[in-house]
Amino acid sequence: MKRVSLTQYLVEEQRLHQTINAELRLLIEVVARACKRISYSVSKGALGEVLGSAETENIQGEVQKKLDVISNEILLEANEWGGHLAAMASEEMETIRLIPSRYPKGEFLLLFDPLDGSSNIDVNVSIGTIFSVLKAPEGMVEPSEQDFLQPGAQQVAAGYAVYGPQTMLVLTTGNGVHCFTLDREMGSWVQTQSDMKIPETTKEFAINMSNKRHWHPPVQRYVDEMLAGSTGPRGKDFNMRWIASMVADVHRILNRGGIFMYPADLRDPSSPGKLRLMYEANPMAMIVEQAGGMATDGRNRIMDIQPTKLHQRVPVFLGSKSEVQLVTGYHQQ
Ligand code: AHM
Ligand code: MG
């Protein structure tokens, strides 16, 4: 088998399709290198003394795990000196991080959820890193939060690393979705899947069923119809999976189809669900759309939402097109 490294893929992408320039290529390589380090820390577990709580809270008021903090630091440090970024924003930090004045600034903005699926860290279940890349607005002098508030449709790249039985990097620069597996002995990312496509129809859904009593009627109806099985309105049996790591759930759906849902619910009418638009929903929506799937907030395309704040939350329905269309239609009725 001819091995194509991430570097070769990016160089050819720049040369043949021009969807990226040298600066974006460097950015992606640096993020991928940081993910290698995170993967190493994750795999050490108790031996690296990285498990457990950090005894700090993030901006969302959630107790941070040690690995949340470590992963955030790895991404910040790796990306500050290369000259490819104007600023960074992280799910774990209250406001944006400027590039120190001793380094040159670049034209891109990087956003990330350094370690997604925190509840799975200490129990050795797959977790991941999610990232999104935007272009800094023309004429920007000193980056501000406002410069990050761009709809997901303006992302120039998005990806995630999944730390599971294998460590993989899934990436799009707007020209399909490509997957790279970390070769630990060689220390390199090797392309193992190209132009991934989500099967359009599916018999699998992912949602945290324990919240069922709180859901809005369209979600109740959609899930009830699936649960009714082959004698119900859907005329087939469905299977359910919920890993509680969005990265791992999306990775399964990319490979064998399905729908992932984290809806808003009736508990707090002011809270539109759990997941964050800028660090989770937008990058995953870009990947899913590039793989032929669909991503909505129940009514509208996620990537068309105009963000109003950095840590904004949003309901998420994404995956196989026919299923996302159906549940979105139920909300619109
Ligand atoms: P996190 O960023 O604090 O890890 O939260 C996001 C995660 C997603 O990966 C996952 O889909 C969801 O939270 C699981 O939530 P729940 O514990 O409610 O099932
Ligand atoms: Mg997260």
Q: What CA–CA distance (Å, rounded) separates 69 from 58? A: 9
Render pLDDT for 208-218 as a digit per residue (tens, 0 to 9): 999 999 999 99
Confidence at residue 94, expressed as pLDDT on a 0 to 100 scale = 93
Atom of ligand 1 nearest to the CA of 242: 19
| Weakly modelled stretches of the chain, pLDDT under 70 | 1
Considering the entire predicted model, what is its pTM? 0.96
Structure token digits, residue 71: 């992963």
Q: Are the beta carbons of 62 and 118 closer than 8 angstroms?
A: yes
Which ligand has an atom closest to residue 267 CA? 1
Q: Which atom of ligand 1 is nearest the CA belonging to 113?
A: 2
Tell whether ligand 1 has an atom less than 6 A from the beta carbon of residue 32: no
pLDDT tens figures, 159-206: 999 999 999 999 999 999 999 999 999 999 999 999 999 998 899 999
Q: Which residues contact 118 (CB under 8 A, 6 or more apart)?
A: 62, 64, 65, 67, 68, 127
Per-residue pLDDT at 65: 82
The complex's ipTM works out to 0.97
pLDDT at 50: 73
pLDDT at 300: 97
How many beta carbons lie within 10 A of that of residue 148, not counting itself? Answer: 23
**Best probe residue, ligand 1, of 212, 274, 276 (max atoms within 8 Å of C-beta):** 274
- Could you tell me which of 156, 163, 316, 165 has the C-alpha nearest to residue 247? 163
**Binding residue numbers for Mg(2+):** 91, 113, 115-116, 280
